[in-house]
Amino acid sequence: METQSRKKQSRKKQSRKKQLKFIDLFAGTGAFSLALEKNDKFECVFTNDIIKSSKKIYELNHPNHKFTLEDLNKVNVDDVPTHNLLCGGFPCQPFSIAGVKKGFDDERSNVFWKIIEILKKHTPEIIILENVKNLKSHDKGNTYKIIINKLQERGYHIKTSILDTSKITSIPQHRERIYIVGFRDKETYDKFNFDFVEKGKKPISDFLEKNVNDKYYYTDRFKVFEEVEKGVTKNISENVLYQWRRKYVRENKSNCCPTLTANMGSGGHNVPILKDDKGIRKLTPRECFNLQGFPSDYKLPNLSDSALYKLAGNAVSVPVVDLIVNKLDGVI
């Protein structure tokens, strides 16, 4: 009996050591891949996005991964490798405040059904999905119910939580996102939780560059210069950022960066701005990536600022995924 018990324990230890293969859908800047591969238990076997700039930044930082630049709906599920974990921040614009909130009427949200098709074909043990918090309230909660029901129909036990980057990490960016984690194994599901301890935030200045290019500063050649100059009064030394809200300036009083959005580089709302000893300026693309938790050596491709802002605004917060991955590591 003792010998059999030891054999069972040995098999359990070996199974824990096996490398788990994952696929990173809507990979964007590569936040999921970055967080998962910090743990040598996980290996990426497939990556996908439809955006060319995503391919550039992803391949620059993950040169050994195979990146499929194609609409996921056009990808044959038979071409997707067998995997243990499926992750992805599926398009949030159909459900976001910054978007038009069309939900399943928006063609971008149709890729959710492709996720279901992949799950049906490959039945990975674990899924991690990320989206804007408004997914939960969209269409009076019906969209969320459909998503959860469809995942459950595929045999997954689901846990969800709305997590704010500024509350559970040291990153001072207010970013609320819903995370959907599913398990085929009920015992593993029971062990997993979203119980993260609140952490103190680092000052915004820790994430800023030195010697910022003049092009990021507002001058009188900008049409909105007078309004910006009137509204931005406190120096960044007071740990304050502001938002340009298309027609007016709003002070962000929480000592946080406002939620970074994909449209901030094109003059849309939520453009984060600050006042330093040199003048009033926008955050740089690198600073936006810093405030998403990417390491300082994460390479940015030679793209326009607007393209980089969009990538940063669409990104998943790396330290939040780190926390989820650490929780997974403790239960699988």
- Which residues does the annotation mark as catalytic? 92
231: left (phi over 0), alpha (psi -120 to 50) or beta: alpha
3-state secondary structure of 180: strand
CB crowding 97-112: b at 16 or more within 10 Å, else e: ebbebebbeeebbebb
**115/72 Cα distance (integer angstroms):** 9
241-244 and 249-252: which strand pairing?
A: antiparallel
Burial pattern 144-177, b for ≥16 Cβ within 10 A else e, equals beebbeebeebebbbebeebbbbbbbebbbbbeb
The first and second tokens of residue 176, run together, are 């609320």
Please state, in angstroms and rounded to a whole number, the distance separating the CA atoms of residues 1 and 321. Answer: 42
Closest of 203, 201, 215, 202 to residue 285, by C-alpha: 215
Reading across the β-sheet that carries 271-275, which strands appear in turn?
A: 249-252, 241-244, 271-275, 280-282
User: Cα–Cα distance between 23 and 5 in angstroms, integer?
Assistant: 35
Tell me which DSSP letter residue 76 carries.
-
